[in-house]
Structure 1
Amino acid sequence: MKLTSEPLPQESGSETVLRTISKIHSVESEAIKWVTCPQSYSHTFLVARAEELVDKKINAGEPLAYFLKGQLYFEEGWYEDALLQFEQSKDTDFQSMYQLGVMYYDGLGTPPDPKKGVEYMKKIISSDSPKARHLKFAAAYNLGRAYWEGCGAEILEKEAERLWQIAADHGNPKASVKAQSALGMLYSATHPKDLKKAFFWHSEACGNGSLESQGILGLMYLYGHGVRKNLKAALECLNQASDRGNVYAKGHLVEYYYRRKFFTKAAEFAKRVTENDNVEEIAKAIDCAPFYIAKGLAMASFYLARCFQLGLGTKPDEALAKKYYSKACNLDPAVAADLELTANHGRI
Structure 2
Amino acid sequence: MKLTSEPLPQERSSETLFQTISKLQDSELEGLKWLNNPEIYTHDFLLGKAEELLEKRIKAGDSLACFLKGQLYFEEGWYEEALLQFQQNTDFQSMYQLGVMYYDGLGTPADPKKGTEYMEEILNSTSPKARHLKFAAAYNLGRAYYEGCGTVISEKEAERLWFIAADHGNPKASVKAQTALGMLYSARHPKDLKKAFFWHSEACGNGSLESQGILGLMYLYGHGIRQNLKAALECLNQASDRGNVYVKGHLVEYYYKRKFYPKAVKFAKRVIEDDDVEKIAKATDCLPFYIARGLAMASFYLARCLQLGRGTQQDTAAAKKYYSKACRLDPAIAADLELTANHGRI
Length-normalised TM-score, structure 2: 0.96
Comparing 64-73 and 329-338, the one that deviates more: 64-73
Preserved CA contact (<8 Å) 2:200 2:211:
yes
Distance verdict in 2 for CA 1:291–1:229, change over 3 Å = same
Q: Which of 141, 144, 147 matches 2:142?
A: 144
Determine whether 1:176 maps to 2:174: yes
Q: Which of 251, 276, 279 matches 2:277?
A: 279
1:191 offset after TM fit, Å?
1.4
Preserved CA contact (<8 Å) 1:104 1:117:
yes
Preserved CA contact (<8 Å) 1:22 1:36:
no
Q: Counterpart amino acid of 1:302?
A: F
Comparing 65-74 and 16-25, the one that deviates more: 16-25
1:32 offset after TM fit, Å?
3.1
Comparing 23-32 and 256-265, the one that deviates more: 23-32
Distance verdict in 2 for CA 1:152–1:192, change over 3 Å = same
Alignment match, 2:302: 304
Preserved CA contact (<8 Å) 1:22 1:35:
no
Q: Counterpart amino acid of 2:57?
A: K
1:43 offset after TM fit, Å?
2.2
Alignment match, 1:125: 123
Alignment match, 2:23: 23
Alignment match, 2:208: 210
Distance 1:125 1:33 in 2: 41
Give the secondary structure class of the aligned counterpart of 2:251.
helix
Length-normalised TM-score, structure 1: 0.96
- The Cα RMSD (Å) is 1.4
Q: Which runs of 5+ in 2 are unaligned?
A: none
Distance verdict in 2 for CA 1:10–1:36, change over 3 Å = farther
Distance 1:4 1:181 in 2: 12
Distance verdict in 2 for CA 1:282–1:332, change over 3 Å = same
1:278 offset after TM fit, Å?
1.1
Alignment match, 2:312: 314
Comparing 115-124 and 22-31, the one that deviates more: 22-31
Preserved CA contact (<8 Å) 2:17 2:47:
no
Distance 2:68 2:246 in 1: 37
Distance verdict in 2 for CA 1:113–1:55, change over 3 Å = same
Preserved CA contact (<8 Å) 1:17 1:68:
no
1:325 offset after TM fit, Å?
0.5
What percentage of residue pairs aligned between the two structures are identical? 80
Distance 2:25 2:303 in 1: 58
Matches within 5 A, 1:93-172: 93-172=91-170
Preserved CA contact (<8 Å) 2:297 2:333:
yes
Q: Counterpart amino acid of 1:10?
A: Q
Distance 2:83 2:34 in 1: 27
1:55 offset after TM fit, Å?
1.1
Distance 1:33 1:96 in 2: 30
Q: Counterpart amino acid of 1:52?
A: E
1:39 offset after TM fit, Å?
4.4
Give the secondary structure class of the aligned counterpart of 2:29.
coil
Determine whether 1:88 maps to 2:88: yes
Could you list the per-position Cα deviations for residues 208-240 of structure 1 after superposition, in whole angstroms to 9, with x for gaps in the alignment?
110000110011000100000000011111111
Preserved CA contact (<8 Å) 1:308 1:317:
yes
Preserved CA contact (<8 Å) 2:166 2:175:
yes
